[in-house]
Structure 1
Amino acid sequence: MLEWFCSRIDPKDLQKATATTVQLTNSSASTSMQDVRGGNRKRSKSRSSSIEKVLKLLPEQKCDIAQAQIEEIREALVNLQSDSEKILSNHKAVMEEAEMRSCELKKSEYEFERDIIKGAVNPRSGKIISEKIVRHFEDKMKSRDGLIEKLRLKNSTLKVQLRKLRLQLKQKEEMGEVLHEVDFHQLKIENSQYLEKIDERNQELLQLKMVAGNTMQILSLHKKKLQTLMKEAESLAAEIDSRNELLKKIISESSIVQKEKEKANIVNQRLTEQLSNYRVPETLDYVNEKARLYELRKSVQSWKRKVEIAEMALGGLKRNWQQLKAGLATDVAVKQHSKPLSGSVQVL
C-alpha cells in the first residue's frame, strides 16, 4: 500500500511528507539524547529504537494513506462504472441498430419478393420487367433520403437541447446552485433519516394491515351472522304473513259460523216452538192414513203395469207400421218398372 501510495503521489507532496518525518525523527532523537544525559547508559538500545522509530510510520500517516487509497479505489470504481455503463449503452445501441437493420432487411426482402419477384413478372414472356425494378429502387432511395433528413433534423434539435442544458448548468455553477460534496453528505443524512421514517411508517402500516385483517375477519363473521339473521327474519316475516292470512280466514270463518249459529238458533227456537205446540194425532187417523198409503202404492204398481203393457203394444204397432211402409215402397217401385214394359208390348 505504501509503494502504491508513493508511486501515485506527487514529488512535491513526497518532499513535504519526508520533511515532516525528518522533523518527527529529530524530535524523537532529541528526546533520546535527553534520556542519555539523564543517566540512561544503554546507547545501543537507544540507537536501535531511534532507527526503528525512523523506519516506522505514525498511525495518522497510515490512516491518511489508507484513506487516500480508499478514495482512489472509489474514484476508480466510479470511473469503471461510468465506463462500463457507456460500453453497455454502446452495445445496447449496436444491438438495437442490428435489430432495426435485420427488421429493415426482412421488410425490404419481403417487399422485393412481393413487388419484383412475384408482381413484376411479365405474364407473356415470364421475365421480370426492368422498369418496375428501377422504380422500386428509386422509391427505396427516396424513403432513405427522407429518413436521413428526419434523423438530421432530430440530431440538430438534440444538439440545440444539449447546448441549452450546458448553458443552464454553467449558469447554475456560476450562481452557486450546483450541489457540492457537503450537500451530498447532507442529502445522504436526510435520506437515511427519511428511510428510518419510512421503515417506521412501514411497521405502522404492517400493524394497521394486521388490525385491518382482524377487523375484516370480524366483519365477515358479523356479515355471515347478519345474513343468517336476515334469512331468519325473512322466514319469520313469511310465517307471520301466513299466520295473519290464517287469522283473517279464521276471523271470517268465525263470523260466518256466528251468523250460521244465529240462524241455527232461530231455527232451533222455531222448532222448539213447533215442538211445544205439536199434538200427537189419534190412532184411527194413523190407521186410515196407512191404509190410504197402501192403496196408493197398489194403484201406482197397477198403473206401472198398464204403462208397460201400453209400451209393448206401442212397440208392436211401430213394427207393423214399419213393415207396412216397406211393403208400400216395394209396390210403388214395381209399378214404376211395369209401366214402360206395358207400352212396349202395345207397340209390338
Structure 2
Amino acid sequence: MRRSTGYFVGLTVEQKCELAERELVDMKGEIQRMEEDTEKTLQDLETHGRSKSKMRRSTGYFVGLTVEQKCELAERELVDMKGEIQRMEEDTEKTLQDLEAVIQETDIWWTDVKKAISDFEKDIVSTISNKKGSIVASEKLLRYLEEKNHQRDLMKEKLRLENSFLKGYKKKLQQQLRQKEQMGETLREVRSQQLQVTKEQYEEKIDEKNKELQQLKLTLGKTVRILNFRKKKLQNTMETSTSLMKDISQKTELLEKIERETTLVEKQRAKAESLDRWLQKQLSDYSAPPVMSYVQTAMAVTDLEKSIKAWQRRAAIAEVSEAEPGTRGPGTGSRCRR
C-alpha cells in the first residue's frame, strides 16, 4: 500500500472508502499497463526476428569489378549477413529469456496482488457497498492497514535481527582470524624447528637412498654384463639352430628321395615277382613231346632243309641258263629240261 494509516486521520468514512477505491483502480490500471507493455515488446521482437535484413551496399558499388572480385564481395556480404543474423538471434534469445524472467516475476507479483485485492474486496469493499456497514468497513480498513504495517514492521525487525546476527558472525570470524594470525607467529618457530628436524631426517634418508642407488648401479652393471653374455650365447645358439634346421631340411629332402626310389623299386620288384610267377606257371604247365616223335620231326626237318637246298641250286642253275641261252647246244638244253 502506498499510503499509511496516518494519511486517513481527519477524514470521514466516505472519503476513506473513496480513497481506497481509487487506490484499487490505480493498482488495476498499473497492472494492465504492464501487461500491455509486455505483449507489445513480445510482438516487436517477433516482428524484428521475422523481418529481412537489407543489403548494405548498392549495385553501383560493383561497377568496374571482375567476376572473381564480385564473387568474393558477395561471399563476404553473405558471411557478414550470417554473422549479423546469428548475433540478432542470440540477442533475441537473451531478450526473450530476460522477458520470460520478468514475466515470471510479474506473474508472482500479480498473484500476490490478486490475492491482496480479493482479500481487500472480500473484507472491505463488500462491507463498504452496504450502507449500514460503513462504520464497520472503516474499522476493517483501518485494521487491514494496521495489519499490513505490522507485517512490514515484523519484516523490518526480522531483517534487522538477521543483519545483527550476520554482523556478530562477521566479528566472530574476524576475531578468529586475528587469533589465528597471532598463533601463527608462535607456530612459525615450532614449525621451523619441526622442519629442521624433518630436514635432517630426510637428509639421512637421502644418504641411505644414495647408497642404495650406488649399490643398484653396481648390480645393474653386473646384470648388463650377464645379459650381454646371454645375448651372445643366444645368438650362437640361434646360428647353430639355423644350421641344424638346414641340415634337417637337406636330410628330409634326401629321405623323401630315398622313399621315392624305394617306392619305384618296390613297384619294379612287384612287376618282377608277377613275371616270375607267370613264368613259373608257364613252366609248370609245359609238357615235353615223346622222343621218337622228336627224332622223326628232326629227320623230317633235315630232309626238308636238304630239299630246300637242292631246289635252291636248281633255281640258280635255271637262272644262269636263262641268262646265257646261246652258249649251250640243243642237247644240253634238252638235258637240262629233263
Length-normalised TM-score, structure 1: 0.31
For CA contacts below 8 A with separation 6 or more, give which structure has more relative contact order. Answer: 2
